[in-house]
Structure 1
Amino acid sequence: MSDCCNRNIMERDICPCDGIDLLDDSQTAPEIQTHPITRRQVLKYMGGFLLTGFIAACGQAGGPQAQKSPVPTSIVSSQPTAPSREGLTKLDLAFCSQVLCILPFEVARQQGYFADEGYDVNLIYMKGGALAINALISKSVDFVGTPMDLIVRSVDQGQPVIMVASTSRLPFFALVVSPGKSSEITKISDLQGKRVGVNNLGTTDDLLLKALLAKNNLDPNSTDSVALGPNLYDALLRGEVDAGMVQEPALTLLSQKGARVLVNFMDRQQTNEVLGGDYQFMGLNTRPDVLDSKPDVVEKLARALVKANQWILNHTGSEIVKAAPQELAPGDDIQIFAKALDKYKESLYPSDGVIEEHAVRRVVETQKISGLLKNENIDISTLYTNKYVEG
């Protein structure tokens, strides 16, 4: 792993494991290696992954205490847990390795929905959403699961990619105040001048923070955003930052210790109240040339993921978490995830895979607020299509 992954990244410099807005200009990706190491090794590499609750928006960047990776490449493949069927067409599908992002894809594989459509799908766990998008752009793979933020950034940089099905319509984050600051910081405007922890600058959690500040009539840069990588939980607990963007199980664990929740984006009602509606997050993505050459494949994969989300909505959290790699939720954490899924699954996972224009537009507007877009008049219609989920 590059040395830049082991430092606190305070500028938008290019790093091979950086997050959403850090696609390099070459838009290249390493050649896919399907089994260089086991999934257990890459999940072990993630280390503090669960305590932060995310590798922010699936774009991972190491903080000051980030572990060095034993992984020699940027891509690893999952080991299959569902029985394979003879006569299926093998297909690689890359996505960022994050537990709530993983679920629809793993459910589709383990419940046989991909196989029902004729495909033996190899889910490739990648160290960050930017790497997945780069693999898609370089044609190392034809399909990836990443957030809409990366689609917007890629298209803005002249690289056509497109989302064809929504697997999550909300971000997996909550903005919480450090337990020691909960009596002092009671609303968004109190964050002015404070240190707020995010995974990395320019990732979804950082963009959402800036949007919240702007909506509360504050300069989007009025907080001191601190890139902490996978160490956010501990930093909040120790009071090293005043607030931060976390996910489960960090949200539950910090709340139990007195942290104040300012906004929970996993709750659809709260998201609607603070942002005005949904914020399109995860989905199945591909390239326009794939839509032209393999429309039947796109439709079949989208249909399998829609079925997976419907399965998630119809089952309890304790059943759903069995689809997640056990390495991601050891010990009591699995029960925290199960309870969180029971609470948030209706908000997070759409039953029809439909991508809403207003939710995509909200992502674009958030990036405009953050000053990331080169093209202020980006064409929303180029970012997504519902053709393959609406039949």
Structure 2
Amino acid sequence: MKKKWLAVLAASALGLAGCASTASQNSGTSSSGGTGTPVSIMVGGLNKQIYLPFMLAQRLGYYQQQGLNVTLQDEGAGVDATTNMVAGAVQGVGGFYDHTIAMQGLGQSMESVVSMLTTPGEVELCRDEVKDRIHSPADWAGKNLGVTDLGSSTDFLTQYLAQKNGVDPAKIHRVGVQSGNTLIGALQHGNVDCAMTTEPTVSTLLATGSAYVLLDMRTAAATTQQLGGEYPATSLYMMTSYVDSHPDVVQKLVNAYVATLKWIQTHTGAQVADQMPADYYAGSGKDAYAKAFDSEKGIYNPTGIMPPSGPPTDLAVLQAFNPDVKGKSIDVSKTYTDKFVQAAK
């Protein structure tokens, strides 16, 4: 499994190295502008509220204040964003912290430099037609389950929840459906029975009456019930080699994100919506976007410090089923650092 994955990664790296120079031309790219130090960050779904701090920091002007010209690139899945970073196409990834653990199992050293979410903020939705057949993950055997992509954090969580509820992950059919409109279409057309997603997609689907909530991990209590403890999710993670060689750039990025996290704590959903691009809430509407934010505001880390009990929970989840982590000696202390958050101004 490891050799196969690394072979795919190597092939991707060759391809990405050739296209890295044109990445800024992609339609899913947004630059903070200015003449500051250039930094490229790939985010596993820029319009998802779980990744709100990345675009919000740009809209608030915090990158420019730090002397940075940050280019945000949109990628549908964190696993693909991670591959881009390993290939050298971007300097950082806005994605789930658990990728740093999975990649250590594959011999790659990367670390979270700021923690943005203390819970996954994920919701498992099922299409209304299966309501009498799927009441919990214990009913998943033989079902088609949507994840952002194979190897993504939603894939990790889906497999863990299946196993925890007595279903062999090999007995479920995981389907990469990305997020937003592609995920909505997959559910509404019956291509998947259930799918794991976040706001604003959750509100958009529930408003149509075509889906129902199977389980919800938008609160600390619900996350502990499903996963056994705090599960730090969204973070900015980077290759350890980059963190060690560019501490000044990393510090400026963390300064911007700590300021953004503090701004989030003192503002309402309506004020957040006013800052965001209109296409971020085009599906559900601006009011629904604001309401969704207000209902899940507690998912955001107010300090940026990694919750001490969080990394062991992430590790336990991955060790339960992931062959790249299971049985490996993983040092979680090397998968994150708080020194930049502690020094943030």
TM norm. shorter chain > 0.5: yes
Question: What RMSD over aligned residues (CA atoms) do the two structures have, in Å?
Answer: 3.1
* Alignment-derived partner of residue 149 in structure 1: 98
Q: Displacement of 1:377 after TM fit? A: 1.6
Q: Quote the residue 1:48 is aligned against.
A: none
SS at match of 2:21: coil
Structure 1 position 301 matched with structure 2 position 253: yes
Question: Are 1:37 and 2:25 matched, yes or no?
Answer: yes
1:329 aligns with 2:278: no
Query: Bigger CA drift: 202-211 or 328-337?
Result: 328-337
CA contact (8 A) 1:182 1:258 kept: no
How far apart, in 2, do the equivalents of 1:246 and 1:292 lie?
Answer: 34
Q: 1:181 to 1:364 in 2, by over 3 A?
A: same
Deviation of 1:174 (Å): 0.9
Q: Which residue pairs with 2:44 in the alignment?
A: 96
CA contact (8 A) 2:46 2:54 kept: no
What is the CA-CA distance between 1:264 and the residue it aligns to?
1.2
Counterpart position of 1:207: 156
Match of 1:118 among 56, 67, 70: 67
Query: Which of residues 162, 167, 175 is equivalent to 2:124?
Result: 175
Out of 304, 314, 318, which is 1:367 matched to?
Answer: 318
2:292 corresponds to 1:340: yes
The Cα of 1:354 is off from its aligned counterpart by: 1.1
Distance 1:211 1:127 in 2: 21
| Matched letter for residue 92 of structure 1 | S
The two structures have a TM-score, normalised by structure 1, of: 0.75
CA drift of 1:368 comes to 2.3
Equivalent position to 1:270, from 205, 216, 222: 222
Structure 2, unmatched stretches of 5+, are none
TM-score by length of 2: 0.83
Query: Which is further off, 256-265 or 350-359?
Result: 256-265
Instruction: Report how many residues are paired.
Output: 335
> Match of 2:9?
24
Of the candidates 173, 182, 188, which is equivalent to residue 224 of structure 1?
Answer: 173
1:24 aligned counterpart, secondary structure: helix
- Tell me what 1:58 maps to: none
Instruction: Return the alpha-carbon distance in structure 1 between the equivalents of residues 148 and 90 of structure 2.
Output: 26
Decide whether aligned partners of structure 1 residues 12 and 233 sit closer, same or farther in structure 2, where only a CA change above 3 A counts: farther
Report the alpha carbon displacement of residue 163 of structure 1 after superposing the two structures with TM. Answer: 0.8
Percent identity between matched residues is 27
CA-to-aligned-CA distance 1:160-217 (integer Å, 9 cap, x gap)? 1111111223324211222122233223323333332333333222221221122223
- Give the aligned residue type for 2:285: D
Q: Unaligned regions of 5+ residues in structure 1, if any?
A: 1-10, 16-20, 43-76
